[in-house]
Structure 1
């Protein structure tokens, strides 16, 4: 006999898997937006990129926390923004500024991971529970609920 989690427990788990990464994305956005304020000598550093990306991540993360069902596509937007943070030091040519570049890369990788988990959990939450063909929801071994055409003796 296998233990099956109740629907309430599954719903709670997927809710936590949507909210927690979204909160992290919002906080990471605040950190990225504040990065230009703490950089001593920005040099060739395009601060506008971190400000724009950070504010976008903050807004997307906050929207995902406030309305996770209606903003599912924003999980993918967060993944793309995190990917941009990883690529930006090379595309915008500030990879030689190691502190700023590594900050963007590490936060970008974390955003991709957390936002990916949140997006997958949101997709799992929206899909209905699957049951196999010929099985009822309570059937654990795949026993068919139909009667045999020929009775066994």
Structure 2
């Protein structure tokens, strides 16, 4: 918006990939809503399921709760205001990637007690990455078409 309040700032250079903002929710809030549910699930799953003692390394419960809090924070940030498209996608892909590699990197093991933690992390991580990429592709196609996001 200009000083005159007309809203016409004149011709502007197209924003770079890092500055691009997608106004409004992507996939009518579906990406954000499902992301929020993944975060809640990550926090509640260790309570509902028996994670047991996982390997000799890091505690799977703590990893899932911390990842769940981070996923919820990302979803709330997306709800609160339009987040940079690349930033939101990158954050979700990193969190999902962490969930996929955490069972192997932190040695959850494959015992009867730790299998549920391993499967849960890998399944949620893959779905989180897929959802983030789906939301990115949808929003990017709408930006390129010049249409406002739905």
Whether these two folds match at TM > 0.5 is yes
Name structure 2 gaps, 5 residues minimum.
1-23
Query: Offset of 1:58 from its aligned partner?
Result: 0.8
The answer to whether the 8 A contact 1:32-1:51 is kept is yes
- Larger RCO, structure (CA 8 Å, separation 6 or more): 2
Name structure 1 gaps, 5 residues minimum.
1-13, 131-153
Query: Offset of 1:93 from its aligned partner?
Result: 0.4
SS in 1 for 2:117: helix
Query: Offset of 1:118 from its aligned partner?
Result: 1.4
Provide the residue aligned with 1:80 in structure 2: 94
Provide the residue aligned with 1:109 in structure 2: 126
User: Equivalences for 1:33-72 in 2 at 5 Å?
Assistant: 33-44=43-54, 45-68=59-82, 70-72=83-85
Query: Offset of 1:129 from its aligned partner?
Result: 3.0
Higher Rg of the two aligned structures: 1
| Residue 30 of structure 2 corresponds to residue 30 of structure 1 | no
